[in-house]
A = this chain, B = another copy of it.
Amino acid sequence: MEPVKVGLLGLGTVGGGTVSVLTANAAEIARRAGRGIDIAHAAAREYRPETIRGLDRIGRIGDDAFALVEDPEIQIVIELIGGYSPARELVLRAIENGKHVVTANKALIAKHGNEIFAAARAHGVVVGFEAAVAGGIPIIKALREGLAANHIEWIAGIINGTGNFILSEMRDKGRDFSEVLAEAQTLGYAEADPTFDIEGIDAAHKLTILGSLAFGIPLQFERCFIEGISGIETQDVVYAAELGYRIKHLGIARRSDCGIELRVHPTLIPERRLLANVNGVMNAVLVKGDAVGPTLYYGAGAGALPTASAVVADLVDVVRTLTTDPNNRVPHLAFQPDELADTPVLGMEEVETAYYLRLSALDQPGVMARIASILGEQGISIEAIKQKEPAEGETHVHLVMLTHRVLEGRMQEALARIEALDSVQGSVVRIRMETLSG
């Protein structure tokens, strides 16, 4: 068969990686796909030719992305520009022109995916986005196809490598957040503006996508609860470790009786869980299905070649669908578009988790009893409690508590009352906790 002609928008890190992989493994990929894949046209404003293997195999390199999506020769457009605009306009225009699309753009899919998939459906084309979540790990394929038999109960994932690197270093070396962040920036793991990574926005983009695939709901990024890791202090990492837990920045999507939870936040998890032992920049996603039980998917969540691996896997999939019946393809969001559910995404106050609490209190009789009684009045039971001796020159002790599961709304009320006590200093540190079992 004739090679497929693809167009490439962007020749940055992932774009360059994609050209490199398609070049290095051209023969092997064709042996799998049954036909070759030619990059007939690429568009990029700026790129570094010396970093890209196989640049000479690209038919034509221009700088006009909008010209590329009009190029009649191109059957599949690979969007690797990133960001919301002009990525959205380019993708929609490619779809209108009857071209299939492969993208690594999590922000675009999380925010504009519903519109993009509707357009794709109207024009009978496919949009592949495996590279948008967890880099090279084929987690979208696993959720959409591999676990298709299951009623998915929950997903918990380490889906931002930068955040995981920072928390891993804080634990291993007892270093402070800001110190490790600076190192991550030097190493190229974190951007000059690290907000998207450390404040959880990047993870929330990915979790939004995973949640829709798991539960068959439209993409609702704006309903996702987001808490980053910039407030995590080294002493809490240490206290958590003493209690047998590690702090990980997790994206959690869970089906409860009342609706669906979509939440990104630092989380204590038992140190024996595999997920607790995923360190450095690696990603992992744990999926609980009713038939299969827990399954875990681990690998590099970012980087030129791992992300390119997912882009090219999508390309091969799209090549295979070129001759299929459009009504019989894998649906974009795992469920048939007219079968998406309107199950509500819950507000955080309606979510139930266990908690790690740390507070500074005067070392006086009766203080602990007051705190315990406030918690008790809100129906919060304490699983473990540790008192830490005051540091030299301090009059307050640290109280560290683990609680059983409780609605976040109730915990907020209890914390407001505890913080109002004269014997309690400052605010209560509160980190959510999950056992990841059941």
A residues near B (Cβ < 8 Å) are 17, 21-22, 24-25, 28-29, 31-34, 130, 135-138, 141-142, 144-151, 216, 274, 277-278, 284, 289-300, 303, 305-306, 308-313, 315-317, 320, 322-325, 327-331, 334-336, 339
Contacts and interface: CB of A to CB of B under 8 A. Distances in A.
Nearest to A276: B277
Nearest to A289: B309
Nearest to A334: B32
Nearest to A130: B146
B292 A147 contact: no
A290 B28 CA distance: 12
A303 B292 CA distance: 9
5 contacts: A148-B313, A150-B309, A274-B277, A277-B277, A292-B300
Contact of A295 (B31, B137, B312, B316): B137
Contact of A296 (B17, B135, B297): B297
A411 to B, nearest CB: 32
B324 A306 contact: no
Given A149-B308, A149-B316, A136 B33 contact: no
Question: What is the count of identical protomers in the complex?
Answer: 2
A294 to B, nearest CB: 7
A32 to B, nearest CB: 5
B148 A31 contact: no
B147 A138 contact: yes
Contact of A297 (B135, B295, B330): B295
A327 B150 CA distance: 30
Nearest to A317: B145
A325 B35 CA distance: 15
A353 to B, nearest CB: 24
A297 B325 CA distance: 31
B324 A328 contact: yes
A299 B309 contact: no
A147 B313 contact: yes
Contacts of A298: 274, 295-298
Contact of A306 (B216, B291, B303): B291
Given A298-B298, A335-B31, A138 B146 contact: yes
Contacts of A142: 138, 141-142, 146
A312 B291 CA distance: 10
Contact of A323 (B29, B149, B284, B328): B328
Contacts of A312: 148-149, 291
Contacts of A325: 323-324
Given A31-B339, A34-B328, A296-B298, A316 B136 contact: no
B313 A320 contact: no
A45 B293 CA distance: 29
A328 B34 CA distance: 8
Given A33-B148, A151-B25, A313-B146, A291 B277 contact: no
Contact of A31 (B28, B130, B141, B216): B216
A267 B140 CA distance: 32
A142 B309 CA distance: 12
A313 B306 CA distance: 26
Contacts of A150: 25, 28, 309
